[in-house]
Structure 1
Amino acid sequence: MIDIPYRSALIIGAGAGISGSLTRLLREAGIAVVVAARDIGKLAALVNQTGAIALQADAADATQVERLFAETEARIGAPEIVIYNASGRVRGPIAELDPAQVEQAVAVSALGAFYSVREAAKRMEPPGKGAILLTGATAGVKGFPLSAPFAMGKFALRGLAQSAARELAPKGIHVAHIVVDGSVRSEHRADSQDNTLDPDAVAQSYVDLLRQHRSAWSWEIEIRPWTEKF
């Protein structure tokens, strides 16, 4: 098995689910990890468990993203892995949605990803090495009723990933979009195990991407529970 060829990681939009599982796997592999969120108080248990560093940032704010990357670089060096896990959701009939709330939701899902990819590319292009993984959703492939803002943001995210992959892969930077097609299991959900995604298994799929040889990079993968219809 090819070892993970990176030594530092920044996870943006971190929480207890996929991000928590990813943090544990990366730390077990000896990789320094910074986890970022608007509310870093929710990351205290993860930080205590793994030794990861928590930094506060609003991904929808370009200035805060710039600062986040600068602070990450000062703490663990320029991140060789950047994982964007943030997303914004607003539900409701299109005719009744608040434009300001829609703008914020799309900003988190799409613009925040752009700000993050931009900062990552600045640091990864000179050495010609790095990986950028963007967490997508079923909504980025097909839009559902009452969920237009989420679909708008995730469709934009997928387009960003495809464009960035084509631009940056020839420069040695692996860009991949992960379509998470299903609900992620948590201790707070009552769903049966067959109907939900195990966050540890999802995180393993991310790590498998990081281990890919550059002669066989994937730009997109879909992961879903085995009972999920598609």
Structure 2
Amino acid sequence: MTQSLPLAIVAGAGPGLGNTLLSRFKDRGYQVVGLNRSLPSKTDFDIRVVDLTDEQATNAVIASLIKEYGAPKVVIHNTAQLVIKPLAETTAGDFEACWRSMALSAFVLAKSLMQPMVDNGGGTFIVSGATASLRGSAKFSAFSSAKFALRGLTQSLAREFQPQGVHVVHSILDGIIDTDNSRSLHSMDPDKMMKPEDIAAVYFGLCEQPRSTWTHECDLRPFDGSF
């Protein structure tokens, strides 16, 4: 073990929110490591390439990280795969890909990390949800079903592991996150989009909550968002 700094792992560490989360925790004194399906073309962070739906590969990467840094104090599951199609155009492959990207990956990640976190005195496990975690809109059958499953999984993890010291949070991101990609896809005022740095600030605050007032679920949206 080479570091005395607490470890924060961000799964889904691509441009936008993932990188912003890594930056926030690094600036606050954490050793940070990102997990991603591919290596970003430009990054200033330690990114480990892994398919989180592959349990054997994930276990190997996590074991290596724990050997190097110790068990993490913070884990953020931020992976997603968006499919917006009418039901008639949604394939079984689309449906399964969404479920694997979100629900299965969170299950595999939690299974590899929860017990080491418990053994290390606890920590915080945050899962990024979405509007679709609560409402199945038209043309979102694949995405919403996966987000609903992810929310249920997170509730189950909280009830099993919070009594053992791991703070489990499901964060509903009810809006469009302001990234270069989202600006190219949506013709809306950037001031009405969710700022990655502001989401990261809330996530960091969740990790600092005292045990007597843990939040399990929070919903974040722009000031003028409808709900």
* TM-score past 0.5 threshold: yes
Matched, 1:197 2:187: no
Between the aligned partners of 2:219 and 2:83, the Cα distance in structure 1 is 24
- Does the CA contact (< 8 Å) of 1:87 and 1:105 recur in 2? yes
Task: Render the CA deviation track for 1:126-178: whole Å, top value 9, x for unaligned.
Answer: 23311100000000000111111110111011111111111111101100000
Match of 1:185 in 2: 178
After the TM superposition, which residues 86-105 of structure 1 pair with which residues of structure 2 at under 5 Å, given as runs?
86-105=79-98
Match of 1:173 in 2: 166
Matched, 1:157 2:150: yes
Shift in Å, 1:65: 1.8
Shift in Å, 1:91: 2.3
After the TM superposition, which residues 124-139 of structure 1 pair with which residues of structure 2 at under 5 Å, given as runs?
124-139=117-132
Cα RMSD for the two superposed structures: 1.5
Between the aligned partners of 1:93 and 1:187, the Cα distance in structure 2 is 26
Between the aligned partners of 2:180 and 2:139, the Cα distance in structure 1 is 27
Determine helix, strand or coil for the equivalent of 1:40: coil
Between the aligned partners of 1:37 and 1:203, the Cα distance in structure 2 is 18
- Alignment CA distance shift 1:55-1:110 (3 Å): same
Shift in Å, 1:21: 1.3
- Does the CA contact (< 8 Å) of 2:14 and 2:40 recur in 1? no
Match of 1:69 in 2: 62
Matched, 1:18 2:11: no
Determine helix, strand or coil for the equivalent of 1:229: coil
Determine helix, strand or coil for the equivalent of 2:111: helix
Shift in Å, 1:22: 1.1
Shift in Å, 1:67: 1.9
- Does the CA contact (< 8 Å) of 1:60 and 1:104 recur in 2? no
Identity between Structure 1 and Structure 2 (%): 32
- Runs of at least 5 residues in structure 2 that lack an aligned partner in the other structure: none
Match of 1:220 in 2: 217
- Does the CA contact (< 8 Å) of 2:33 and 2:46 recur in 1? yes
Match of 2:32 in 1: 33
Between the aligned partners of 1:93 and 1:67, the Cα distance in structure 2 is 39
Matched, 1:56 2:49: yes
Task: Render the CA deviation track for 1:162-198: whole Å, top value 9, x for unaligned.
Answer: 1111111110110000000000002340531332001
Between the aligned partners of 1:169 and 1:62, the Cα distance in structure 2 is 23
- Structure 1 stretches of 4+ with a deviation exceeding 6 A read none
Question: How many equivalent residue pairs?
Answer: 219
Shift in Å, 1:78: 1.8
Shift in Å, 1:83: 0.6
- Does the CA contact (< 8 Å) of 1:13 and 1:59 recur in 2? no
Between the aligned partners of 1:144 and 1:30, the Cα distance in structure 2 is 40
- Does the CA contact (< 8 Å) of 2:11 and 2:36 recur in 1? yes
- Does the CA contact (< 8 Å) of 1:185 and 1:191 recur in 2? no
Shift in Å, 1:94: 1.5
- Runs of at least 5 residues in structure 1 that lack an aligned partner in the other structure: 1-5
Amino acid at match of 1:213: P
Amino acid at match of 2:194: L
